[in-house]
Amino acid sequence: MTIPLDGPPPGRTRPAEREELALPGVLLGGAAVVGVFALLTAALGAVPAGDRGLPDYATWLAAVPDGLAARVQWVLGDITEPQFYKSWVASLGLLVGGAVGWWAHRTRKRWAGEPIAYGSGLWPWMLGAAGLSLVLSNLAVGDRLAEGWQPTFVPFVCVAPAVVLVYGRGWSTLVTGAVLGVVTTPLAMVLIAHVTGPLELPAVVANTASMSIGTAAVFLLCRLLPWMRLPVAEPDSQVETEAAERRVPTVLGDAVWTVRRVVTDFTETQFWANEWASLGLIAGAVVTTLLNPDLGSYGSGLLPRIMLAQALTSAVGVVLWRHLYRGGGWAPTYISVVSVAPATVLAHGDSPLALVLGAVAGAVLCPLVARPVSRALPEDFHPFIGNTVAMAVVTSLVVPTVGLLV
């Protein structure tokens, strides 16, 4: 199975062709979406702290070891922890938005947005595998939650969905990916305890490194499992039939596309990459802040600023790497959205300079690291491994460097 570096991810059907995006329209769209997030950040920043229906993060975490409801909420919160939100309300928004995107695509609605899960038709299987792996992760290390936060979320966004995307649908694939994916959680715990912790690096460095190492090991193991067989690749002629329409570039069209692309980046890490899923996620994050600003993002009160940094880093990335989207192509502009940009905000608090530096540096550097690594991977490895390598490497460089400048 050949995976083109600049083309759609595995399983993605090629969308309508587009000429290279012109700079004026992309800049207009990027400025518009960042402006909206800036206004949203300012509005949410004015929300007074306090419990209006949800406990603060510390209270919630303390209740998790012994409370069934709190434990279930924790597992749900794991679904949006890759975005640094850690909110079960945001997770419910993501799940509802994902279901809407899936249904709209299945019923061919004009407003369906980007086909969820890259148009592979595998979204239910990916969700099932990732969800099962998440539950198993919590069962495996849940007793450690009495000691504080643990990276129970890690399997949801690496091994399980990647295995389904590469090997296709089927219960054996679902269960294999889910079970083998659990190894990433204890690996992350070891890296936090012995590498990133002593070096005073953000935990996301260990989490993403465990995703890279664990996923690579699982794909190697899958070669030895007799029931794991790569599907026969669909002939290019069948895929290309969906590219009959050629869109004529305009400033407004490029601006609208850019807004949609930035929004889509918010759920690329779950391999969903759909506007409705992202809007559900963002709506859930807003509701979380309104109900208690001290719940999301580990009780830091920085959730609105994290969202702004994510919009900014995605917009900058789309502007810089827009040529890779030509003709239905793709670029890893989401990488910094779930690593460098939010990690910089968490590390350096309310500093506007840190927010901008982290967002811009992540947008510039992450694809530079990810693309060569993805190019070097074997054909039966999902290329997202290059993206998680970039997350770990660039975050470990940028966050301390920004600390020297602010």
Report pLDDT digits (tens) over 198-257.
999 999 999 999 999 999 999 999 999 999 999 976 654 444 434 434 566 789 999 999
Tell me the C-alpha distance between 132 and 33, whole Å.
35
Is residue 113 within 8 Å of residue 101, measured between CB atoms? Answer: yes
Q: What is the pLDDT of residue 6?
A: 45
Q: Buried (b) or exposed (e) across 88-127, using 16+ Cβ within 10 A?
A: bbbbbbbbbbbbbbbebbeeeeeebbbbbbbbbbbbebbb
DSSP 8-state symbol, 17:
E
Q: How far apart are CA 147 and CA 150, in angstroms?
A: 8
- Give the ranges where 223-332 is alpha helix by DSSP (H): 236-240, 251-265, 275-291, 296-299, 303-320
Residue ranges of domains in the chain: 17-47+56-405
Question: 389, 289, 405: which is closest to 339 by C-alpha?
Answer: 389
State which amino acid sits at residue 166: V
Measured in degrees and rounded to the nearest 5, phi and psi for residue 185 equal: -65, -55
- Say if residues 293 and 107 touch (Cβ distance below 8 Å): no
SS3 172: helix
Distance CA 341, CA 358 (A): 5
Rounded CA separation 248/240 (Å): 18
Across 8-37, b (16+ Cβ under 10 Å) vs e yields bbbbbbbbeebeebbeebbbbbbebbbeeb
- The SS3 of residue 284 is helix
Give the residues across from 247 on adjacent strands: 18
Residue 17 forms beta bridges with which residues? 246
Backbone φ, ψ for residue 243 (5° rounding): -110, 30
Taking CA 391 as the corner, what is the angle to CA 401 and CA 303, rounded to the nearest 5 degrees? 80
Cα(91)–Cα(81) distance, rounded to whole angstroms? 9
Buried-exposed string 214-230: b where 16+ CB fall within 10 A, e elsewhere: bbbebbeebeeeeebee
Beta bridge partners of 18: 247
pTM for this prediction: 0.92
The percent of the chain in helix, strand and coil, each rounded to the nearest 5, is 70, 0, 30
- Report H helices in 321-383: 340-348, 352-376
- 55 Ramachandran zone, left/alpha/beta (phi>0; psi -120 to 50): beta
Q: What does the block give as tokens for 164?
A: 């389904």
Report the alpha-carbon distance of residue 172 to residue 102 in Å, rounded: 23
Residue count (the chain): 406
Q: What is the separation, in whole angstroms, between the first and last Cα of the chain?
A: 46
Q: At what angle do helices 68-78 and 88-106 cross, to 10 degrees?
A: 50
pLDDT tens track for 295-317: 999 999 999 999 999 999 999 99
| CATH assignment, 17-47+56-405 | 1.10.3430.10
Structure tokens at 311: 């919009």
**86 three-class SS:** coil
- Identify the H or E element spanning 18: strand 17-18
For 376, what's the count of Cα atoms within 13 Å in the CB-facing half-sphere? 10
Confidence at residue 19, expressed as pLDDT on a 0 to 100 scale? 64
Position 243 scores a pLDDT of 42
Residue ranges in the chain modelled with pLDDT below 70: 1-19, 233-248
